């Protein structure tokens, strides 16, 4: 009971923020099409022991190994990946709030303060953070592991011992490839800190142990997946690194929109004007770590062109660190202003900043939840939700008639292949090695969509169904304009009986029957 009381007194900011985050996250409550790619890998691992998209085809069309394995474990235990991904997304989102409070307590020497409410409440009220508690992707797991690593390494640098943060970054690297980048950035932070404090270049024993632990956890996994899939990097890496040029412009736009939506330009001024005292080494370390991580990761985001999904999931892993820096800066700025003009004026000034952030965040969240469209190529969450939900009945309809020898082409490699359970390969090459590695199939710089399989290749495997050319909706035409030799357009009614008819038109091989559509001589 005594421990519980101490926990509540120290971590009540976490409890308050969690109470805000849960209903905020439920406002979004969606699963994006890309998440179903991992769901299919997880299902094949759980049911067939193969971490593949199509049984017998070893193509690494996912970039979230640890997340996929967790989902496979859930399937083994009888929990579906759709429900489990939502539960884990919110759970890891809440866990990160606890780490943020832990970081604030560490910086203040374990002294409790109302200022510790600022960082977790900022995250809980931020639409981007709440949105990606949903989505079905690994975003919040990765964010939790990276934030935990930042907290642990700050403690290790302060105490001059410990190496547990290496495990956090290793597990982050097993969750997303960028985890290795964060480990490298933290290594740079440690080198700079050692020189700044002690003029020391050579690592000490615990720092050797830190590097060794990361290598021991990450390298065996890296070697296993290289042997299993035949390539050193995921299939998606080869798709996304094959841009036809101009990706950096999309990356700059992505960062600019993030800054505009959340007033980052102004919040950076708060951080710059409220520098930590020189004798406060803990907060100096925090600011140095944040500067290294932000600058390097911003350059990385620009290099890869950002992301095509709205509300900034790609930036989210570095946001909790920024929230702590901002909270500490606001605390110091408040103290500086109070000495000059009094506590009421200082509180009013920071209140205006907070109100401006909340209004801007609410507007961004509302737009993301209601606008079914895209912002210069960045798909809004409302569109991502609509896209996935419209295709669930299509996949379910196809599943009724699937046969063992069937093969299909798809555009989005998520919902339709997952629910249909038909072997498939996608025109963007995310789950197809030939498209991913063929330099002649590069068509654009849009993140995740740089590739487009040629007509000759898409037809060369003689699929039963071609669905990367399609028409979906209540007024769907049968012939959608492109009819390759040996195929015909057909139209299926995919809506349940008694509901308004919804049609799906696609191409079927003429010499193969499928469901209500017979073979044609």
410: which residues sit within 8 A by CB, 6+ positions away?
416, 417, 424, 425, 426, 427, 467, 468
Which positions of the chain have pLDDT values less than 50? none
Element (H, E) at 409: strand 408-410
pLDDT of residue 278: 66
Render the burial of 173-208: b for 16+ CB within 10 Å, e for the rest.
Answer: bbbbbbbbbbbebbbebbeebbeeeeeeeeeeeebe
In the 3-class helix/strand/coil scheme, how is 182-218 assigned residue by residue?
A: HHHHHHHHHHHHHHHHHCCCCCCHHHHHHHHHHHHHH
CA distance 11 to 15: 7
User: How many of the other CB atoms lie within 10 Å of CB of 362?
Assistant: 12
Q: What pLDDT is recorded for position 397?
A: 96
472: which strand partners? 504
Summarised one tens digit per residue, pLDDT across range 172-187 is 999 999 999 999 999 9
- The values of phi and psi at residue 442, to 5°, are -90, 130
Residue 52 CB-density burial (10 A; 0-12 exposed, 13-18 middle, 19+ buried) = buried
Separation between Cα atoms, residue 455 and residue 435, nearest integer Å: 11
Is there a contact between 469 and 461 (Cβ–Cβ < 8 Å)?
no
Q: Within 10 Å of residue 124's Cβ, how many Cβ atoms?
A: 25
Neighbours of 145 (CB within 10 A): 29
Q: Model-level pTM?
A: 0.96
Helix (H) or strand (E) run with residue 292 in it: helix 281-304
> Among 217, 8, 258, which residue's Cα sits nearest to residue 127?
258
* pLDDT for position 370: 92
Q: What is the per-residue pLDDT for 5?
A: 64
CA gap 120, 122 in Å, rounded = 5
- At residue 446, the pLDDT reads 82
Contact 145, 179 (CB under 8 A): yes
Angle at 134 between CA 382 and CA 48, to 5 degrees: 115
The DSSP code for 80 is -
Q: What per-residue confidence (pLDDT) applies to 280?
A: 84
Task: Write out the DSSP string of 19-76.
Answer: HHHHHHHHHH--B-TTHHHHHHHHHHHHHHS--SSBTTB-----S-HHHHHHHHHHHH
Question: What pLDDT score was predicted for residue 279?
Answer: 64
């Amino acid at each position: 009971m005594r421990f519980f009381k101490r926990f509540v007194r120290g971590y009540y900011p976490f409890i308050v923020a969690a109470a805000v985050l849960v209903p905020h996250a439920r406002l979004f409550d969606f699963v994006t099409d890309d998440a179903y790619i991992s769901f299919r890998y997880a299902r094949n691992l759980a049911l067939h022991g193969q971490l593949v998209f199509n049984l017998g085809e070893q193509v690494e069309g996912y970039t979230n190994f640890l997340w996929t394995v967790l989902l496979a474990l859930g399937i083994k235990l009888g929990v579906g990946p759709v429900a489990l991904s939502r539960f884990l997304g919110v759970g890891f989102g809440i866990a990160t709030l606890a780490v943020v409070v832990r970081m604030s307590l560490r910086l203040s020497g374990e002294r409790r303060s109302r200022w510790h409410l600022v960082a977790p409440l900022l995250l809980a009220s931020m639409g981007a953070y709440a949105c990606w508690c949903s989505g079905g992707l690994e975003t919040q797991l990765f964010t939790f592991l990276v934030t935990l690593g930042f907290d642990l390494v700050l403690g290790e640098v302060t105490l001059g011992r410990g190496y547990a943060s290496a495990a956090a970054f290793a597990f982050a690297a097993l969750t997303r490839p960028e985890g290795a980048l964060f480990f490298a950035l933290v290594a740079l932070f440690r080198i700079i800190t050692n020189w700044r404090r002690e003029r020391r270049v050579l690592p000490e024993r615990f720092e050797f142990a830190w590097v060794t632990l990361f290598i021991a956890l990450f390298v065996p996994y890296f070697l296993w997946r290289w042997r299993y899939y035949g390539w050193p990097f995921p299939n998606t890496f080869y798709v996304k690194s094959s841009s036809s040029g101009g990706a950096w412009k999309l990356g700059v736009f992505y960062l600019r929109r993030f800054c505009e939506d959340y007033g980052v330009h102004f919040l950076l001024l708060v951080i710059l004007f409220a520098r930590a005292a020189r004798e406060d080494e803990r907060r100096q370390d925090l600011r140095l770590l944040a500067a290294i991580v932000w600058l390097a990761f911003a350059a990385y985001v620009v290099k890869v062109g950002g992301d095509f999904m709205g509300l900034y999931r790609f930036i989210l892993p570095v946001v909790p660190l920024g929230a702590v820096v901002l909270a500490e800066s606001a605390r110091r700025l408040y103290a500086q202003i109070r000495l000059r003009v009094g506590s009421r004026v200082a509180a009013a000034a920071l209140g205006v900043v907070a109100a401006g952030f909340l209004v801007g965040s609410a507007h961004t969240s509302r737009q993301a939840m209601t606008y079914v469209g895209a912002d210069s190529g960045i798909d809004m969450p409302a569109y991502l939700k609509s896209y996935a939900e419209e295709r669930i009945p299509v996949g379910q309809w196809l599943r009724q008639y699937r046969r063992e020898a069937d093969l299909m082409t798809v555009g989005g490699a998520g919902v339709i292949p997952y629910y249909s359970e038909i072997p498939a390969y996608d025109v963007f090459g995310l789950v197809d090695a030939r498209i991913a590695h063929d330099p002649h199939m590069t068509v654009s710089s849009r993140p995740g969509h740089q590739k487009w399989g040629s007509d000759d290749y898409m037809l060369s495997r003689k699929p039963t169904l071609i669905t990367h050319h399609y028409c979906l909706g209540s007024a769907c035409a049968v012939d959608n304009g492109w009819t390759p030799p040996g195929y015909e357009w057909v139209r299926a009614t995919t809506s349940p009986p008694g509901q308004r008819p919804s049609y799906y038109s696609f191409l079927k091989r003429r010499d193969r029957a499928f469901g209500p559509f017979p073979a044609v001589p």
